[in-house]
Amino acid sequence: MVRIAQGFLYMGKGLMTLNPIHSHGLLINPVTLGSLLILMVTMMNSKELLFTHNMHYLLYYITPAMTPRYLICIDQATNEPVSVSVRVGTAVDTTGKIGNPKQITGFQTHTTPVLLQVGEKAEMETDEWEPLTHILEGVVIVKKKEKKDGDGDVTMK
């Protein structure tokens, strides 16, 4: 039982977590929630189910609930990880001046890959890369921003 508890505590060397809430607390994943409920019901009678009848395979039901705690940016064109400057800080509703709202406060600037703690958000710092999603968690696909020349032609930055 101690080894199972240590496995959950140090899951993926701290890079994975068991959390059914994702997208900055906006959505609940029903598959993740179901797998957590299966594990909780199994642990209510763990002496009988896991250790006496050798039904240790019931622990595999936790796999769909494992989600990453990190942020990695992948280039859309090459499918390779890229280092992008991001700000990581405590999530708040909105702060800042009108027209320049911030979603985080007390931030630090890091380059990806970066580890996100509970209650933290990330936002892009640089204008060189553009994410294809507005939620920065897990694996995020980014693309180079296009800039216009004086002639009106579009070139890659």
Three-state SS string over 81-148 comes to: EECCEEEEEEEEEEECCCCCCEEEEEEEEEECCEECCCCEEEEECCCCEEECCCCCCEEEEEEECEEE
pLDDT tens digits, 38-74? 888 888 888 888 777 778 788 888 888 888 888 888 9
Q: Which of the residue ranges 18-22, 32-36, 124-128 has the most confident prediction, judged by mean pLDDT?
A: 32-36
Given this model, what pLDDT does residue 33 score?
92
Answering whether pTM is above 0.75, one says: no
Q: Are 68 and 32 in contact (CB under 8 A)?
A: no
Given this model, what pLDDT does residue 48 score?
83
